[in-house]
Amino acid sequence: MGEAISQPAMINILDWLVGIEDRAASFYEQAAAVFTEDKTFSAFLLHLAAEESEHLALLSGAIDHRAQEIISGACFSLDDTIRRSVEAPFDRGHDLMCKGELTKQAIAGVIAEAEYCEWNEIFLYVIDTLKGQGREFQKAVAEIEQHRKEIETFISSFTWGAQILTRLGRLRQVWRRRILVVEDDPVIANLLKCLLMDEAEVVLAQDGVTGLDFIRDGHFNVVVSDVEMPNLDGIALYRQALEIDPDLKRQFVFFSGTRKPEHHKFFQSENLVLLPKPSPMGRLRKVIYEVADAEG
């Protein structure tokens, strides 16, 4: 696990998320008003708005925790790349609404693009960081999964819905790269997976032992690993992985908040890529893809 992120950076993510949840709820409500003649479509949009309002309430509780200065460790910071990827669908939808050109198909596209980007994983990551994986967090995970299933079912009920979902599925199934993420914190691992899965198959391992088993069984363009983990740490994983395939030396990326001098000395001596915790999400994705593309 990494060192704690600075409080201002975490506050920036939290405040941005509050704005996104509020914006989503507002957009869905306004879109519902545009299509009041279609009671089923309008009701579905109001249902989405209500769910985003619930997320907003949960974040407000996290803000109360922030005021009490109990922000704990985190591993990511927000950058413009990620902001734009989440905000872009709503920008497009709002623009169409202002022009009077908002169609049901366009709304469905906005919903699908927004709900399947990094947004919900960032939301869960923040709740986990601020409040832990207790009852509220577990409920939020279950609700988001149900939320996405409802969206898929509703969109697929339209004749054009399959085209939108197929396009989304193709984006999520591209296999130009195969990436192994070795991280003992499941929330961090899932956010990394979400950041990388647009253009890769992403496999998760909860520790070095499991990661080594995956390496024995198949090829990976990149191995992204934490350092301090139970059972087998990242450096031991690296050493044993090279015994299986020496070419992996150029394909390891360490994502860690370690400050131990011996770790940094090792990274330097091996000329390894180290991305510190915290790192901007967009930079993480860019560097990992660059290592994947440089393979061989």
- What is the pLDDT, as a whole number, of residue 212? 97
Token look-up 């990388």 returns: 196
Contact 228, 183 (CB under 8 A): no
pLDDT, one tens digit for every residue, the chain (296 residues): 334 444 456 778 888 999 999 999 999 999 999 999 999 999 999 999 999 999 998 887 766 655 444 444 568 888 898 999 999 999 999 999 999 999 999 999 999 999 888 898 899 888 887 767 677 778 888 888 888 889 999 999 999 998 888 776 644 443 457 899 999 999 999 999 999 988 888 999 999 999 999 999 988 999 999 999 999 999 999 999 999 999 899 999 999 989 899 999 999 999 999 999 889 999 999 999 999 888 64
Which structure tokens are listed for 20?
Answer: 């996104």
Residue 180's nearest CA partner among 205, 198, 210 is 205
Contact 25, 53 (CB under 8 A): yes
Torsion sign across C-alpha atoms 11, 12, 14, 18: positive
The three-class DSSP label of residue 184 is coil
- What is the pLDDT, as a whole number, of residue 169? 63
Token look-up 């090279």 returns: 242
Contact 182, 225 (CB under 8 A): yes
